[in-house]
Amino acid sequence: MTVPTFALIDNTDAAISKRKAEVIIIGTVKADNSDGTLTLAPGSDVVDAAFDGTLVETLTALGATGKAEELVKVPAFGKLGAKAVYAAGLGKSEDGEISAQQVRLASGAAARALTDVSHAVTTLSAVDLQGAVEGTALGAYSFTEYKSERNGTPVAEVDVVAPEPGEQQAQQKTVTAATAIAESVIIARDLVNTPPSDLFPASFAERAVALANENGLDVEVLDEKELERQGYGGVLGVGGGSSRPPRLVRVRHKGGKKARKVALVGKGITFDTGGISLKPAANMDKMTSDMAGAAAMLATAVLAAKLNYPLEVTAYLPLAENMPSATAYRPGDVLRMYGGKTVEVLNTDAEGRLVLADAIVRACEDEPDYLIETSTLTGAQVVALGNRTAGIMGSDEFRDRIATLAQRTGEGGWPMPLPDELRGDLDSTLADLANVTGHRWGGMLVAGVFLREFVAENLPWAHIDIAGPSYNSDSPWGYTGKGGTGVPVRTLAAVLADIAENG
């Protein structure tokens, strides 16, 4: 894992104009005036002065409009310490304001273009410091582990222009936190992008142990023998068809005495064929991302340690590979879950909720103050909300709190209900409940209703369905390349910070 090295520099004319770098990045704002002229974002004045005030004219002549994620390049002609100017479009400002997400997206688009640039300066940080650091670090990300030839290297050093003078300590703290958050997103991305030939329950557990040891976290791993001894019927049922047996990993950041406890549960299906209820062949390769929930929760636990949140943060990662074989669980089987409830399996491709149920019950035994679970759980999430908006369910107040923070971070998320009438559709004649209904309606909500059955009474909890947002199969955009996105790590970081501050 590599991220650029960020150095905070003064926002003085000399510090910016004479800085030796290959590229200096500025922001442009889409015209919202009668003559249709784009404007320059705050922090660009020094660069414009070096061009004798003609930078807008020059950029306009080159076709710049300031639209979101646009990138126009101009040689510096020796007018600056940098060799070239990259003008990154921020889109329109709302009432004169530019959001952190606009800065994040523009910074990401610029960073994706900095291939083989060793040193850059960004003035987008003068608009929003955290957004510029996060966007640059994530936009520069590339996963080349399996490439025999690597086409270019990401930017190594980025100087970020301080928004204001005299706030050096606070601003440096922001840079440090933003870098740590981006690093944790990249941990999740790397895990998702690792192919299932190399990432399976045991190897995922080994990576979790290594990360825990590196960051001073407590870690516990239950193998298949211990899972059987303790009665984890969901994890064992789902993982029983694979030659690579399941694991349950528990990683904990202590956070100090009397710290509030936050439980993080993440689905870790390292590959999902659907089991006996086999998926269609088309796009099955994307099921390498079915452990994105576990990746996000592990990365968030690491972040809690790096930023030393005054919380006890514990991640529970149920890891299994869902394969069809002579030992696979079948439609019609009844599983006895951890904690004693029984579930009739009607579809083995609804496996994520089974491993999660075991982990949720285990997490509740530790008596957390809050429980957050995330998973690539249902195709219905994509149908309802698309590929970029997570569905957030759970107890109403906590659900809405998380959705608000998700939107504020730019990752996005939408609060969804858990209608009580759907519970009856999960009734089983053989067991306490079935793992699916007999119809397709409200599939995302049904999965949430199923999980609710395993959450301790009166515990504030949330379920975040990231089936779409966890993986980008389309062209890169903003700070998001192809492959694993690391969603919802930044949301979880905001939630933990909010709990630490407000309880």
Please identify every residue annotated as catalytic. 279, 353
The DSSP output letter for 388 is S
* Distance separating alpha carbons of residues 433 and 424, to the nearest angstrom: 9
In what helix (H) or strand (E) does residue 435 lie, and over which residues does it extend? none
**Do 216 and 305 touch, CB atoms closer than 8 A?**
yes
**Do 204 and 198 touch, CB atoms closer than 8 A?**
no
* Distance separating alpha carbons of residues 282 and 324, to the nearest angstrom: 17
- The neighbour count for residue 118, using CB atoms within 10 Å, is 14
In what helix (H) or strand (E) does residue 402 lie, and over which residues does it extend? helix 396-409
Q: Is 274 helix (H, G, I), strand (E, B) or coil?
A: coil
Q: Which two tokens stand for residue 437?
A: 């209904």
The DSSP output letter for 477 is B
- Residue 336's identity, in one-letter code, is R
Phi/psi of residue 227, each to 5°?
-60, -40
Work out the burial of residue 58: count CB atoms within 10 Å of its CB; fewer than 13 is exposed, 13-18 middle, 19 or more buried.
Answer: middle
- Please name the residue that has the structure tokens 């079915």: 290
- Residue 146's identity, in one-letter code, is Y
In 3D space, the residue among 302, 267, 268, 312 whose CA is nearest the CA of residue 184 turns out to be 302
Q: Are strands 119-122 and 82-89 parallel, antiparallel or unpaired?
A: unpaired
**Do 195 and 149 touch, CB atoms closer than 8 A?**
no
Q: Which two tokens stand for residue 290?
A: 């079915």
Q: Which two tokens stand for residue 130?
A: 């955290």
Phi/psi of residue 375, each to 5°?
-165, 150
Q: Is 107 helix (H, G, I), strand (E, B) or coil?
A: helix
Q: Are strands 433-434 and 247-253 parallel, antiparallel or unpaired?
A: unpaired
What are the Cα distances from residue 147, in Å, to 34, 150, 151, 199, 472?
50, 6, 9, 17, 19
Using N-to-C axis directions, what is the helix angle for 443-452 and 352-365, rounded to 10°?
30
* Distance separating alpha carbons of residues 313 and 295, to the nearest angstrom: 15
- Residue 117's identity, in one-letter code, is V
In 3D space, the residue among 213, 210, 173 whose CA is nearest the CA of residue 497 turns out to be 173
* Distance separating alpha carbons of residues 429 and 294, to the nearest angstrom: 32
Phi/psi of residue 14, each to 5°?
-65, -40
